A and B are shown apart, each in its own frame.
Chain A
Amino acid sequence: MVLIEYSELETLIGRIHEISGFDFSGYARPSLLRRASRYLTQHTMNVKDLLLHIEPGGGIVYDLIQELTVNYSEMFRDPDFFMKVKTDVFSYLESYPALRFWVAGCASGEEAFSMAILLKEAGYLERSIIYATDLNNKVLTAAREGVFTLGNTRTFSENYLLAAGKNSLSDYYHVAYNMAVISPEIRKKIVFSLHDLTGDGVFNEFQFISCRNVMIYFTLELRQNVFRLLYDSLSMLGFLCLGKRETLRYSGIEQNFKIIDSTLNIYQKIQ
């Protein structure tokens, strides 16, 4: 495994910014260090080689940025979270004629597909639109295709059943060439688009925002800006969901929310 020091990481961050304009300065260093080290290991090079190879207009810097910003997810990750949304959140949404959901930092679409299935089973999907955004073009392309390996779907199915899914997950995909393809009825209610939480602004108003395990990649300072953006994008009494090990602490907006579930990190905007 190729290891790198924090000082070398800072040099790399500076160089990437210089060449591509992409700014990693607001990204949490410990996970960036780990990702950079993994990138170097996979490409069998050290930081010096990499710094020599990335150049303006070249493909390497683009590839590097994609690799460093890829997020990992699963369908129905944390089944208890989805159960809680179903029991404690959906009832609030009953009265809205049209519902807008935002999956911020959607990776390859797993969370968005899960939300769509959950809404479908609760009878809300027809009047819902899910906006699923990510800053990483490569994962968005994958998300739009909605294709997963059968190995992945095994884990997803287990999660789905633990989340008290009403059917079988395989009701929502079909198998082609040994891959699982999410069905059109689920995909048609999801709009995948490019959006960088750290730079782009508010683009709609939502009743529900899921931004789970995304902000763990940002520094404390940048995180506060992103929290502000999420707050501004939520309608009054709308819901904000974070990952299990995240908190609203140090967010700057904690006083504007009511806690729906402190373990599963579900909050409701009250002011």
Chain B
Amino acid sequence: MNIKKDDSLSLVLIGGSSGSFVIFEEILKLLVQPLSFAIVFVLHRGKSSTSVLPELFRNRTNVFMSEPHHLDTIETNTVYFAFPDYHLLIGPDGRFYYDLSEKVFFSRPCIDATFISAAFSGIPVKAALLLSGSSADGAFGVKVLAQKGFATYVLNPKDAESPRMPEAALQQYDKHTIIYKSTLIKVVQDILYSHAM
């Protein structure tokens, strides 16, 4: 495989399901160009909801947003959305790969698939955030990222509209940093604009 990876690339991964949409909108409003990293957002959604997220969020931020194609190179200063009905993988060559194997936790895209592929890609993960959702998807993925030494953040289950997802993450691994709703903005700003890896 050709490794033509951009050495300056780093990732911020965000995963969520029901109850995560609003929080993600808040995060988008905090973005200031240019971002020195790429954001990859994996949200559970129905397969019929095609290519609407970049449109929906268009007036929330002026950062470039995209639902990537297979083999697209991951660029900094871009927000990517996992396309419905495929698993989105991150390759060691800095490209996106789609995978069509069966659903996990009844979900495609599944958060674990993206998070695990990022953990093994060799691309630095600046931060991984797991928000709200009613399944345990993402819990294992965020643990793998933490064990690889990356900064991981989980929404306080009490602050989540659907607590199952963050609960499962904290059950599987108790050293994630917990994000509270009251301090969300401050924490996210620190994550996005700190220079620490």
- CB contact under 8 A between A38 and B100, given known A30-B117, A246-B70: no
Q: Does A250 contact B (CB under 8 A)?
A: yes
* Minimum distance in angstroms from B97 CB to a CB of chain A: 4
Q: Is the CB of B90 within 8 A of A220?
A: no
User: Could you say which interface size class chain A belongs to?
Assistant: 20 to 34
Q: Is the CB of A28 within 8 A of B116?
A: no
Q: Is the CB of B117 within 8 A of A33?
A: yes
Q: Is the CB of A250 within 8 A of B71?
A: yes
Q: Is the CB of B120 within 8 A of A3?
A: yes
Q: Is the CB of A30 within 8 A of B83?
A: no
Q: Which of B71-105 contact A (CB under 8 A)?
A: 71, 83, 86-87, 89-92, 97-102
Q: Does B41 contact A (CB under 8 A)?
A: no
Q: Does B2 contact A (CB under 8 A)?
A: yes
Query: Interface on chain A toward B: helix, strand, loop, or mixed SS?
Result: loop
Residues 1-30 of A, flagged 1 when their CB comes within 8 A of B and 0 if not, give: 101011000000000000000000000111
Q: Is the CB of A30 within 8 A of B99?
A: yes
Q: Which of B1, B90, B101 contacts A35 (CB 8 A)?
A: B101
Q: Is the CB of A245 within 8 A of B83?
A: yes
B117 neighbours in A (Cβ, 8 Å): 30, 33-34
- CB contact under 8 A between A3 and B116, given known A246-B70, A247-B70: yes
Point out which of B51, B69, B87, B99 has the most chain A C-beta atoms below 10 A from its C-beta.
Answer: B99
A–B pairs, 25, beta carbons within 8 Å: A1-B140, A5-B120, A30-B92, A30-B97, A31-B97, A31-B98, A31-B99, A31-B101, A33-B120, A34-B87, A34-B117, A35-B101, A37-B116, A71-B100, A72-B101, A213-B100, A243-B70, A243-B98, A245-B70, A245-B98, A246-B98, A247-B70, A247-B71, A249-B69, A263-B51
Given contacts A30-B121, A31-B98, A245-B68, 17 further A-B contacts (CB under 8 A): A1-B140, A29-B1, A31-B89, A31-B97, A72-B100, A72-B101, A213-B100, A216-B70, A220-B71, A221-B2, A243-B70, A244-B50, A245-B69, A246-B69, A246-B98, A247-B71, A250-B71
